[in-house]
Amino acid sequence: MSAAAKPAAASPGTAGGDAVPVHVGIIMDGNGRWAAARGLPRALGHKAGAEAARRAIEAAAEAGIGWLTLFAFSSENWRRPADEVHALTGLMRLYLRSEVKTLVREGIRLRIIGERERFGPDLVRAIDAAEAATAEGRRLNLNVALSYGGRAEIVAAAKRALEQGLDPATLDEAAFGRLLSTDGMPDPDLIIRTSGEQRLSNFLLWQSAYAEFVFQDVLWPDYEARHLAEAIGEFARRERRYGVRAA
């Protein structure tokens, strides 16, 4: 596990009780199907998905979750039709321009993980500015995964280890975790995927080694605070062992 390795929400061998996960990751899935079911362009599905993300951020902050990571744009999404990619990047640009003041006011710190340079210099500057403006936020740490892929992240970390000439004898899990884009962040306690699909899709592969998974049969644009509460409730009922055998 990475540097801030073991989640603090529940101890091995104990029931979660009413524990709130420290770090929640969400694979926001179903925008396209939501739009198709309504005879709308996929771009409007993504716009509705952005509204759902806003609700989820607010709900996470209200629930006392310390870290929230949203999977917004995967490295594989670049292979989608050009008009859809254009719509997605346009939404990112709009969000960065319109929401930063709200994030600052609400005490939410924004960080972007993934290959941000692929979005071009204008969007990279907007990302850098948003991260700087929200850096003092303490209420919620919001990570947004953009042009992100778990395998690519692990490969990039391995390359850094080689470039830094790290001694293989000293390269343990904690040292490797510090080479990842999530350095300094706790590993996720809970991974949620919407739309009924049940797979990770290359999301936080290293970091999710001991995460609990909750799959919810709701399309992302329809996601409400109650759905997050249901996932947290399911998490609280789990017995987390981290590979330790129950007594």
**Predicted confidence (pLDDT) at residue 17 exceeds the cutoff of 50:** no
Closest CA to 91 of 131, 135, 44: 44
Mean pLDDT for the stretch of residues 18-38: 94
Catalytic positions: 29, 77
Examine the pLDDT at 3 and tell me if it is beyond 80: no
What is the pTM (predicted TM-score) of this model? 0.90
Task: Say whether 78 counts as a known binding-site residue.
Answer: yes
Res 229: pLDDT: 98
Task: Answer yes or no: is 83 a known binding residue.
Answer: no
| Backbone φ and ψ of 94, nearest 5° | -65, -45
pLDDT digits (tens, 9 = 90+) for 168-200: 999 999 999 999 999 999 999 999 999 999 999
Where b means 16+ CB within 10 Å and e means fewer, 24-42 reads bbbbbbbbbbbbeeeeeeb
Residue 10 has pLDDT above 60, yes or no: no
Count of C-beta atoms within a 10 Å radius of residue 84: 17
**Residues 6+ away with beta carbon under 8 Å from 165:** none
pLDDT of residue 13: 40
Radius of gyration of the chain (CA): 18
The whole-chain average pLDDT of the chain stands at 90
Strand partners, 71: 27, 145
Write down all domains in the chain, each with its CATH number in brackets: 22-236 (3.40.1180.10)
Chain centroid to CA 158: 22
For the ranges 88-92, 192-196, 231-235, the lowest mean pLDDT is seen at 88-92
- Is 193 assigned a ligand-binding role in the annotation? yes
